[in-house]
């Protein structure tokens, strides 16, 4: 019997064409509006979504829905409690961008330690051309060797970044959960890691316990010259507080690939032009050609295995 599948934001799948090893019909919607999700799900047993939310009301209105296949690692846009109660399996695609995201974080780290945004801006503004010397003597540049990298999140990406950092002679510390009562082996307390890190990098899911994990208080606990990286989830960092800390030079810099609202509004605090040693990329850390090819393969396999009665990568 043919399975009916709908892809709610097919426009996000920029590489490859989905193909399955069972009879199916596939309805592709470029970018389904949030208020049309329930209607879009009608008649479909399987829904694919990257970032389009599927809430309880949409599931309750479509009892034929059996699988939500998330075309990404994060699944905070799905009402997981409702899915469990209503018997809807939710699976995600994990590990496909481990190398790409870790490389992106490392790229940001070394660029910010070498003050690349500051010097590149000076060249564009003509400062080098006007210099009486062969160079520009400006913002201090630091080597990675001997510095401390603190990592919040010891999943595949955090561990991959740790390997890159250690190969450059950095010391790596893994932070325990912020509100943990005990510190596990292989971790140090969140506050201790935050205070001792020259670079602090976030590799965590967005949950109620991690929302605004880094706010004004945490930014003041960092070293004055420390660098903050977030290539994980928008919402982990209080973006207003980060913009203020950068503007006032309370930290040495920041690299961000994800925002709470994507795409951002024109007046987003991290789009300001006076933030100094700061890099903002448009949620592209995951998007290497190699990672995207793996994503397509794993997404297809998740759906094939579910239809075969052997669901994998189940989060609900």
Average pLDDT per block of 10 residues along the chain, 316 residues long: 96 91 97 97 98 98 98 93 98 95 98 97 96 94 98 97 98 96 96 98 94 97 97 97 97 98 96 97 96 96 98 95
Task: Say if residue 20 is in the same domain as residue 137.
Answer: no
Residues 274 and 141 in one domain: yes
Q: Say what the pTM is.
A: 0.91
| Residue 313 resides in a domain | no
Structure tokens at 144: 């990675």
User: Looking at the structure, do residues 82 and 102 belong to the same domain, yes or no?
Assistant: no
Please check whether residues 230 and 246 belong to one and the same domain. yes
Q: In this structure, what CATH number is given to the domain that contains residue 165?
A: 3.40.50.720
Determine which one of 176, 233, 239, 300 is catalytic.
233
- Looking at the structure, do residues 92 and 102 belong to the same domain, yes or no? no
From the CB of residue 143, how many other CB atoms can be counted at a distance below 10 Å? 12
The verdict on whether 203 is a catalytic residue reads no
**In this structure, is residue 298 part of a structural domain?**
yes
Q: Is 262 considered catalytic here?
A: yes
pLDDT for residue 236: 98
> Do 72 and 131 sit in the same domain of this protein?
no
Give the pair of three-digit tokens for residue 276.
């100094």
Residue 131 maps to a domain = yes
Q: What is the pLDDT of residue 15?
A: 83
Same domain, 10 and 48: yes
For residues 77 and 222, membership in a common domain is answered with: no
Find the domain containing 276 and state its range: 98-280
- Helix residue ranges, H only, the chain: 37-41, 56-60, 80-86, 98-113, 116-124, 156-167, 190-196, 216-221, 239-247, 289-307
From the candidates 60, 240, 262, 290, which is the catalytic residue? 262
Whether 233 is catalytic is yes
Q: What is the pLDDT at residue 280?
A: 98
Number of domains in the chain: 2
**pLDDT at residue number 82:** 98
- Whether residues 112 and 240 share a domain: the answer is yes
The DSSP output letter for 100 is: H
Cα separation, 286 vs 104, in Å, equals 8
CA dist 13 and 89 (Å) reads 22
Q: Are residues 134 and 22 in the same domain?
A: no
């Amino acid at each position: 019997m043919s399975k009916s599948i709908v892809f709610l934001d097919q426009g996000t799948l920029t590489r490859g064409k989905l193909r399955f090893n069972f009879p199916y019909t596939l309805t592709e919607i470029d970018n389904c509006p949030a208020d049309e999700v329930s209607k879009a799900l009608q008649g479909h047993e399987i829904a694919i979504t990257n970032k389009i939310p599927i809430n309880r009301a949409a599931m309750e209105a479509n009892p034929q829905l059996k699988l939500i296949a998330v075309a990404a690692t994060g699944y905070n846009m799905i009402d997981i409690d409702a899915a469990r109660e209503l018997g809807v399996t939710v699976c995600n695609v994990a590990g496909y961008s481990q190398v790409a995201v870790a490389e992106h974080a490392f790229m940001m780290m070394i660029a910010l330690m070498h003050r690349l945004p500051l010097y590149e801006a000076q060249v564009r503004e003509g400062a080098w051309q006007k210099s009486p010397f062969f160079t520009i003597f400006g913002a201090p540049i630091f080597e990675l060797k001997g510095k401390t990298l603190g990592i919040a999140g010891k999943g595949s990406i955090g561990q991959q970044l740790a390997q890159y950092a250690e190969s450059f002679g950095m010391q790596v510390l893994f932070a325990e959960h912020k509100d943990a009562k005990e510190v596990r082996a292989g971790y140090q307390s969140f506050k201790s890691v935050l205070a001792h890190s020259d670079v602090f990098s976030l590799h965590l899911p967005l949950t109620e316990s991690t929302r605004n994990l880094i706010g004004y208080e945490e930014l003041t606990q960092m070293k004055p010259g420390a660098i903050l990286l977030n290539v994980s989830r928008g919402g982990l960092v209080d973006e207003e507080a980060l913009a203020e800390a950068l503007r006032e030079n309370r930290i040495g810099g920041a690299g961000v690939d994800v925002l709470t609202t994507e795409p951002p509004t024109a007046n987003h605090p991290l789009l300001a032009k006076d933030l100094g040693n700061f890099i903002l990329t448009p949620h592209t850390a995951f998007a290497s050609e190699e990672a995207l090819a793996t994503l397509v393969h794993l997404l297809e396999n998740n759906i094939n295995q579910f239809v075969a009665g052997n669901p994998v990568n189940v989060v609900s």
